Copies of this chain bind each other. A is one copy, B any other.
Amino acid sequence: MNDKRDKGLESALGGSRPWSPAQREPDPLTTGPEDPFNCLNEVDLFADLSPEEMHAMEIMAPARVFRRGELVFSQAQPVTALFVLKSGRIRIFRVTEEGKALTLAILERGAVFGEMMLVGQRMYDAYAEAIEDSAICQLSVEDVERYLISDPRIAIRISRLMGEQVARLEERLTDLALRPLSARTASILISLDAAAPTGRFGQGRSIRLTHEQIAGLLGATREATSKALADFAARGIIRQSRGRITIQNPTALRAAAVSSGG
């Protein structure tokens, strides 16, 4: 039975894993402590803290680098900390016994995860994988309990955070239940675009995900997702290049998100 699960996980991770090849990029991860983004700034959750408090927290939060493909947590290494994503991107996903996976979220820099711990929940069956090399700060459970949960300013932020999450999940659930794939694909492109890190300056926004990653978010197969995307591209609604999608015609995309008829 454990074999089965492991096999499942392996395929959920995308088949044969290339843990091996060394990284190419100049590795902006190991920049010194003078990094402008010192874990806790830019994180909504801590927005109410004074600079001093922020600094105190930073000291408690050791950063660690995860290579692309590495698991930040899993069932084998369950969540014992609150994570803050300093750089890179993380994919949160769940896996069934059969080895199928659904991506719950793809997080960008500044995101907090492992938040379920904050509200007395376990992260059932959840995995977190670095889809790029990522630097992550961890706050231990003890520190979190001492400094965060007790702080009413933060407590209220936690509530809000959870509330947003509930709203997003309800939306996704109804979409999945009631809308055809093409419409869901359009919807997700819209929200991914909105969430996308504002490209360098001005526009140039683009969604940097592969079809497979998008499929994982949609709860659909890669092939079906590719088809939907190809269709949008053919209609000039989006433009694609390898691992990158740019929205050309937001209006048409919004229309495609509601009307079932393609």
Contact = CB atoms under 8 A, between A and B. Distances in A.
Contact of A169 (B97, B100, B155, B173): B173
B156 A149 contact: yes
A163 interface: yes
Contacts of A173: 102, 104, 169, 172-173, 176, 219
A47 interface: no
Interface in A151-175: 152, 155-156, 158-160, 162-167, 169-174
A260 interface: yes
A121 interface: yes
A102 B178 CA distance: 7
Interface in A162-206: 162-167, 169-174, 176-179
B166 A169 contact: yes
Majority secondary structure of chain A interface residues (helix, strand, loop or mixed): helix
A96 B187 CA distance: 14
B102 A166 contact: no
B116 A163 contact: yes
A157 to B, nearest CB: 10
A98 interface: yes
B119 A163 contact: yes
Nearest to A162: B162
A145 to B, nearest CB: 12
A48 to B, nearest CB: 14
B166 A94 contact: no
Given A155-B155, A176-B177, A176-B219, A119 B160 contact: yes
Interface in A104-161: 104, 116, 118-121, 124-126, 149, 152, 155-156, 158-160
A176 B178 CA distance: 11
Contact of A121 (B100, B121, B166, B260): B166
A258 interface: yes
Interface of A: 94, 96-98, 100-102, 104, 116, 118-121, 124-126, 149, 152, 155-156, 158-160, 162-167, 169-174, 176-179, 219, 258, 260
